[in-house]
Amino acid sequence: MYRKGSVVSADGTTIGFRQCGSGPGVIVLHGSMLAAQDFMKLAEALADDFTITVPDRRGRGLSGPHGIDYGIEREVEDLQAMLKETDASRVFGLSSGALIGLRTARVTPSIEKLALYEPPLSINGSVPVDWVPRYRRELADGRIAAALVSVLKGLEADRVFRTLPRFILVPPLNLVFRFQREAKGDDVPIPDLVPTMSADMQLVAQLADTTDDYATVDADVLLLGGSRSPAYFGCALEALTGVLARSKRVTIPKLDHSGPTDDGGPSEVAQSLRDFFA
């Protein structure tokens, strides 16, 4: 079970969150095409030792829209508002959530410990983006299943989607999506999450080749990755290891980019986080 709350960000946008547990505060930031619902197993695994706060990032679920001037600045303001509301000093982020945590730590001394799982920090074009125009065209045409396939094939983060042809993948997804327009409780249906990738790719573009910016981060940083993830995530982690003043890198066996989510290996990730945040 979780309790709900919300905070108002600097631009007036409401950021809603789920919260569970007790103890020192930890904020958990989800990545692309995800929402707070995807981190409930991770939150439960840490709840005996920490107060875990999992927001729906803006543009989904309990939170308000992205806004017309969306960018990394708005996401940083959202996280800062959450930190102030919860009095947390620990942050964990997956993927684009890791980018937000990293960028926020540059300007927010109250973040004492920062754990990042595979931030898509593009270095000399390392993160693939050639699929984005097709994905956005499919979104504009209302072809949500096709857009999702374009994302998963383009980012190469899922082995099944990487190898199977589109004509096999799209029809069953269309069928699944018909029954997922109505989600239970506070959950966000998958078809409503697919369009959020567009905003997250805006963050990837905005923060490309900014590695050296993070030399000023004062927090202790844990850099996490899965042994089965695409190589470009490892490139980002390696670059950050060389720049961050106090960092430790851990590779978790048998996990991929979805490792921290309910469908991945949240118990393994929780163990690394528990040791680091303690």
pLDDT above 90 covers what percent of the chain?
92
**Residues 104, 216: one domain?**
yes
* Boundary-marking domain end, from 160, 175, 200: 200
Element containing residue 275 per DSSP (H, E): helix 266-277
pLDDT confidence of residue 102: 98
Band (182; pLDDT cuts 50, 70, 90): low
CATH of the domain at 54: 3.40.50.1820
**Residues 138, 241: one domain?**
no
Band (158; pLDDT cuts 50, 70, 90): confident
pLDDT confidence of residue 181: 63
Q: Are 278 and 49 in contact (CB under 8 A)?
A: yes
Of 155, 130, 150, 121, whose CA–CA distance to 138 is shortest?
A: 150
Neighbours of 132 (CB within 10 A): 18
Is it the case that residue 259 has pLDDT exceeding 80? Answer: yes
pTM of this prediction? 0.96
**Residues 81, 191: one domain?**
no
pLDDT confidence of residue 177: 86
What gap in Å lies between CA 29 and CA 131, rounded to an integer? Answer: 25
**Residues 27, 156: one domain?**
no
Q: Identify the sign of the CA torsion 257, 262, 265, 271.
A: positive
Of 191, 126, 177, 116, whose CA–CA distance to 155 is shortest?
A: 126
Q: How many domains does the chain have?
A: 2
**Residues 8, 142: one domain?**
no
**Residues 179, 73: one domain?**
no
* Boundary-marking domain end, from 148, 181, 200: 200
* Boundary-marking domain end, from 200, 217, 244: 200
Is it the case that residue 55 has pLDDT exceeding 80? Answer: yes
3-class SS at 71?
coil
**Residues 227, 167: one domain?**
no
**Residues 76, 183: one domain?**
no
**Residues 42, 76: one domain?**
yes
Q: Identify the sign of the CA torsion 198, 14, 57, 11.
A: positive
Amino acid letter, 36: A
Q: Which residues are CB-contacts of 230 (< 8 A; sequence separation ≥ 6)?
A: 155, 156, 157, 257
Q: In what order do the strands lie in the sheet with 3-8?
A: 3-8, 14-21, 51-55, 25-29, 90-94, 113-117, 220-226, 247-252
Neighbours of 259 (CB within 10 A): 25
The CA-atom distances, in angstroms, between 125 and each of 20, 31, 122, 207, 228 are 39, 20, 6, 11, 21
3-class SS at 263?
coil
Which pLDDT tens digit goes with each residue over 63-114? 999 999 999 999 999 999 999 999 999 999 999 999 999 999 999 999 999 9
Which of the two residues, 162 and 230, has the higher pLDDT score?
A: 230
Q: Which residues are CB-contacts of 226 (< 8 A; sequence separation ≥ 6)?
A: 118, 251, 252, 254, 255, 256, 257, 259, 264, 265
Which pLDDT tens digit goes with each residue over 105-147? 999 999 999 999 999 999 999 999 999 999 999 999 999 999 9
Which pLDDT tens digit goes with each residue over 7-45? 999 999 999 999 999 999 999 999 999 999 999 999 999
**Residues 117, 165: one domain?**
no
Q: What is the overall mean pLDDT for the chain?
A: 96
Report how far Cα 114 is from the mean position of its chain's Cα atoms. Answer: 14
Is it the case that residue 150 has pLDDT exceeding 70? Answer: yes
Q: Which domain does 153 fall in, by range?
A: 132-200
**Residues 93, 219: one domain?**
yes
**Residues 87, 225: one domain?**
yes
